[in-house]
Amino acid sequence: MIEKPLTAEDVEFVTTLHGEERISFVVLMQPRSDQADVLLRAIDDVAIGELREAVREGERPEGKEAREPAEMALEYSLRELRQAGSEAVGQVIEDHPLDKLKTVVDDSGADEVIVLTAPHYVEEFFHRDWASRARHKVGVPVLKLFAHSE
């Protein structure tokens, strides 16, 4: 599960997690949505010293407006994973992402889930971040990794 396009560092990291073992990915792109609280994101930005980002939180597309950028980010990420030699498919998910994640894990027989995300300190503190919530839902190990910046 990702929330922004994978960087070259992200792709290298996730494709080499298991050494030379060939792995495949089902990528679920969670776009910015109305579910995410602008205030919490701004607090996270301030906590990591990104004051300019905190000010711009209200300027970024959300909800239906975030769908197209999410689709482009997903296609880019899938292309990068494939160029690195992995099989990769994916989809943008907006409604009930953890339910969709559980279905994908069950249908694909996934061995693990990787949640690649920016730090969300407030949500993490209260265990309301995607990785913490997924651990109680999917039935396989959930690895939380912090995404690299562009």
Query: Which tens digits make up the pLDDT trace of 38-92?
Result: 555 555 555 556 656 544 444 455 556 668 888 999 999 999 999 999 999 999 9
Tell me the pLDDT band of 136, cut-offs 50, 70 and 90.
confident
Give the model's pLDDT for residue 35. Answer: 46
pLDDT at residue 129, as a whole number: 75
pTM: 0.76
User: Residue 92's beta-bridge partner residues?
Assistant: 29
Q: Quick one: tokens of 67? A: 């769908």
Helices 67-83 and 8-15 cross at an angle (nearest 10°) of 50
For the CA atoms of the chain, what is the radius of gyration? 15
- pLDDT value for 127: 57
Q: How confident is the model over 119-147, as a mean pLDDT?
A: 78
